[in-house]
Structure 1
Amino acid sequence: MTQVPIDYAAVYRALPGMVALLTPELVYADVNEAFVRGSGRAREDLVGRCLFDVFPDNPGAPESTGAHQLRASLLRVLSTGERDTMAVQRYDIESPEHSGHWEERYWSPVNTPVPGPDGRTALIVHRVEEVTELIRFRDGRGRTPDAELYARARELQELNNRLRQAHAREREVALALQEAMLPARRQVGHHRAAVRYRPAAGALNVCGDWYDLVDLVGGHRIDVSVGDVVGHGLAAAGVMGQLRSALTAASRVADGPAQALNVVGRYAHVVDGAESATAVTTFIDFDRHTITYSSAGHPPPVLLHRGGRVEFLDRATDPPLDAQPDPVPRPEATTGFAPGATLVLYTDGLVERRREDIDTGLMRLAEALRRHRTQDPETLADIVLLELLPPGGATDDTALVVVRL
């Protein structure tokens, strides 16, 4: 059979459906002829411009949330590298001839990633089908082609509205829960500490990751911990709150971090949803200039020495909190530091990426800390998140603590 040469650019232009190509910055890289006709915009008004600059939300119709939903879908594609099919969206369009005049429109979008040579999403295929005629009756101006299809589409739209309302209520609860469960950034004695918390892209503002900083009794000592519960949302946050509170209490009375994790590990066995939860805790003694640490299945803390040497605290790692049905003493180790060093604790959302060995992420973290070691903790925390998290947000939650010793 003779191979027929195919002009894929011509095929793209001739596709009967509306198709646009978006960059990771959500800028139109190209649009086909059907997209030009369906959007009512000239090609030169689209290419090179951000999607949401060309098609913003209708300010006069709060129920038109298409722009918000579309942005969330596109960010999910960028962060996961997977196709995202959206439900029918109301996305009003401003008339290009009459500024301030908005047309009620309904669209069914599908967003598909196109990977580049490095495996990251280089383009997004944004396919749109207009379904306005299936959503609204047009008395005296036309008829819905299929009444049954219209009824189903209308039911779907009403369901979407109810889901958005429920999501808004859940978000309010989530924000209150976050404020109640996680301590604010703070000074620890005379030492500066920065804390950061980033939920997974598209998730509520709560997750199963936690951090804590505790002033210990006896001497000039503090405890710094981070932990991770599997899952996102309110259920994971509830488990997170129980485990964090247990570890805070245990740290105040334990002889060391290993004993504190032993206590919390036994408690995790009776907490539904605590399966495979991880944590690492460090006892910092500023009089002796030592850090004693223990890890329950968690990525190792990083000690950044003043001269730039990076030390991973990985000599006391054990299985996750609930992995041992019978109490077995956990290991702990101690290392020294000089004043001015920096201790960094984090959860795996900072360093783990799909199809990438975790050692690559750890080395990326070490290099970022080494390059920016002279920055204060607040600035350093922001730089680390900026350099390590994907532009659209990570697919896993992230907690980060930076302490200047």
Structure 2
Amino acid sequence: MNGTEPDYAGVFRALPGMVALLTPELVYVDANDEFLRVSGRTREQVVGRYLFDVFPDNPNDTGASGARNLAASLRRVLETGERDAMALQRYDVQIPGRPGEWDERYWSPVNAPVLGPDGQVVLLVHRVEEVTELIRARGGRTGGRARVLEAELYTRARELQELNERLREAHAREREVALALQEAMLPAPTPIGAHRTAVRYRPAAGALNVCGDWYDLVPLPGGDRIGVAVGDVVGHGLAAAGVMGQLRSALSASSRVADGPAQALDVLDLYARSVAGAENTTAVETWIDWEQCVITYSCAGHPPPALLRADGSVQFLDEATDPPLGARVAHTPRPQAETRCGVGDTLVLYTDGLIERRHEDIDAGLTRLAGALERHHGAGPDALADGLLLDMLPVGGATDDTALIVVRL
């Protein structure tokens, strides 16, 4: 190539397998040479046309389901932004130039998204593995037995696809219920008194695993003070959401009567030992005292809060960190630290979905967060929260839930 850009259009045309590109409306944008050759179509018969106008179901076969199954797979890709592999499909293809005649084909499709800068699906990659000749060859060589095996293979593939559909629907229902449960149990993101706050919660993108992230903001007795906390339950689904609700309520109550954040987490630690599924939950509790200009905090295995100073510098509150809840055999008091704060400073609490990435050290995520905070220095709580999510979360969305609280001091 001598340093020149690869001819990606030429590469696409020359790919050895059947590949086509579709818009989200399922209109062909392009198809490679192998796709056109095997399907018996010209480029003019494909590009710019609706998928199921080019390849409709065989009207003579009342049990035909290829188009329906393919449409369901493509909808899943559009809704989740994730790749979807289909079971083996029998898909009769209309023979060009011979009205009413259909060719029996066996295809194994895989559909994948192409995401735009905003994380939305802009194109669909539709790859098809053609296995018709293999099945025909087996049938010609061994006669009736091969046809029986072929029928069994097709039947099992359809059964597997139907089972996968039922599992997807069950997981989707559980995810919907868990999200509703989380929303019902988490406090409304309203200001605390005259203080400016912003709260954001983002479920994991395209995942069936709703997690147990929570946040809390509570007014504290004894002057102009509030408690701000976030936590993360280990596990997924309805069970994690249920544990999350119990722990959030317990910490909210203990914060109102404790002497400080450490004691509030001590009480939560003891309570968590009696709640199934609460082991190794992480949490951080911060108390903001506007009259004394002090932030007091304690952390139970959770990523440290970030304090964005009015001058644009960033300080991580990491001097009072202890293991997660219930992680120690014997209960011991938790550490507590405090730092001075000033007018114009901003306190940011978050869960690990904001900073953690697979195969990456947590320090890299903290460095990325510090840079994002510096870039958005001077923004109000809502603009800062939105800017952090935009900068920190992957284009396709995070693989873990993310809770975020921003408090302007």
Short-chain TM bin = 0.7 to 0.9
Counterpart-to-counterpart distance in 2, 1:323 and 1:43: 65
Answer yes or no: is 1:127 the counterpart of 2:127: yes
Counterpart-to-counterpart distance in 1, 2:318 and 2:161: 52
Kept in 1, the 8 Å contact 2:15–2:34? The answer is yes
Answer yes or no: is 1:242 the counterpart of 2:243: no
Answer yes or no: is 1:177 the counterpart of 2:178: no
Amino acid at match of 2:370: A
**2:32 counterpart residue number:** 32
Amino acid at match of 2:397: G
Summarize the alignment of residues 81-230 of structure 1 with structure 2, pairs less than 5 Å apart. Answer: 85-87=85-87, 108-110=108-110, 127-129=127-129, 146-204=150-208, 206-230=210-234
Structure 1, residues 191-234: CA drift from partner, whole Å, max 9, x if none? 11111111222224842111111111221110000111122222
What are the ranges of 5 or more consecutive residues in structure 1 without an aligned counterpart? Answer: 1-7, 23-27, 78-83, 94-104, 115-122, 135-142
**2:310 counterpart residue number:** 306
Distance 1:192 1:46, change over 3 A: farther
Amino acid at match of 1:392: G
Kept in 1, the 8 Å contact 2:86–2:161? The answer is no
Kept in 2, the 8 Å contact 1:65–1:89? The answer is no
Counterpart-to-counterpart distance in 1, 2:257 and 2:69: 53
Counterpart-to-counterpart distance in 2, 1:29 and 1:278: 48
Question: Displacement of 1:33 after TM fit?
Answer: 2.0
**2:43 counterpart residue number:** 42
Q: What's the secondary structure of 1:235's corresponding residue?
A: helix
Answer yes or no: is 1:284 the counterpart of 2:288: yes
What is the root-mean-square deviation in Å for CA atoms of aligned residues? 4.2
Summarize the alignment of residues 314-393 of structure 1 with structure 2, pairs less than 5 Å apart. Answer: 314-393=318-397
Question: Displacement of 1:167 after TM fit?
Answer: 3.5
Counterpart-to-counterpart distance in 1, 2:173 and 2:395: 27
What are the ranges of 5 or more consecutive residues in structure 2 without an aligned counterpart? Answer: 1-7, 23-27, 56-66, 94-104, 115-122, 136-146
Aligned mate of 1:266, from 265, 270, 277: 270
Counterpart-to-counterpart distance in 2, 1:167 and 1:145: 33
Question: Displacement of 1:328 after TM fit?
Answer: 0.6
Distance 1:393 1:287, change over 3 A: same
Question: Displacement of 1:31 after TM fit?
Answer: 5.2
Amino acid at match of 2:76: Q
Question: Displacement of 1:9 after TM fit?
Answer: 9.8
Q: What's the secondary structure of 1:180's corresponding residue?
A: helix
Distance 1:171 1:11, change over 3 A: closer
Structure 1, residues 84-141: CA drift from partner, whole Å, max 9, x if none? 74556999x9xxxxxxxxxxx9974447899xxxxxxxx9986334799x9xxxxxxx
Question: Displacement of 1:146 after TM fit?
Answer: 2.5
Counterpart-to-counterpart distance in 1, 2:374 and 2:337: 23
Counterpart-to-counterpart distance in 2, 1:162 and 1:378: 40
Amino acid at match of 1:389: L
Counterpart-to-counterpart distance in 1, 2:225 and 2:33: 67
Amino acid at match of 1:33: D
Kept in 2, the 8 Å contact 1:207–1:236? The answer is yes
Counterpart-to-counterpart distance in 1, 2:295 and 2:106: 59
Counterpart-to-counterpart distance in 2, 1:340 and 1:39: 68
Kept in 1, the 8 Å contact 2:223–2:291? The answer is yes
Kept in 1, the 8 Å contact 2:89–2:158? The answer is no
Q: What's the secondary structure of 1:360's corresponding residue?
A: helix
Q: What's the secondary structure of 1:394's corresponding residue?
A: coil
Question: Displacement of 1:336 after TM fit?
Answer: 0.9
Amino acid at match of 1:19: V
Q: What's the secondary structure of 2:379's corresponding residue?
A: coil
Which is greater in Rg?
A: 2
**1:17 counterpart residue number:** 17
Counterpart-to-counterpart distance in 1, 2:395 and 2:45: 27
Aligned mate of 2:76, from 66, 69, 72: 69
Counterpart-to-counterpart distance in 2, 1:272 and 1:39: 60
**2:98 counterpart residue number:** none
Q: What's the secondary structure of 1:329's corresponding residue?
A: coil
Amino acid at match of 1:196: R
Counterpart-to-counterpart distance in 2, 1:371 and 1:257: 30
Amino acid at match of 1:270: S
Counterpart-to-counterpart distance in 2, 1:72 and 1:90: 25
Aligned mate of 1:231, from 224, 229, 235: 235
Counterpart-to-counterpart distance in 2, 1:146 and 1:282: 64
| TM-score, length-scaled by structure 2 | 0.73
Q: What's the secondary structure of 2:196's corresponding residue?
A: strand
Distance 1:113 1:205, change over 3 A: closer
Counterpart-to-counterpart distance in 2, 1:268 and 1:156: 41
Distance 1:355 1:169, change over 3 A: closer
**1:25 counterpart residue number:** none
Percent identity reads 67
Kept in 1, the 8 Å contact 2:280–2:327? The answer is yes
Distance 1:252 1:274, change over 3 A: same
Q: What's the secondary structure of 2:201's corresponding residue?
A: strand
Distance 1:72 1:275, change over 3 A: farther
Counterpart-to-counterpart distance in 1, 2:225 and 2:40: 63
Kept in 2, the 8 Å contact 1:351–1:358? The answer is yes
Q: What's the secondary structure of 2:292's corresponding residue?
A: coil
Kept in 2, the 8 Å contact 1:299–1:348? The answer is yes
Distance 1:254 1:166, change over 3 A: same
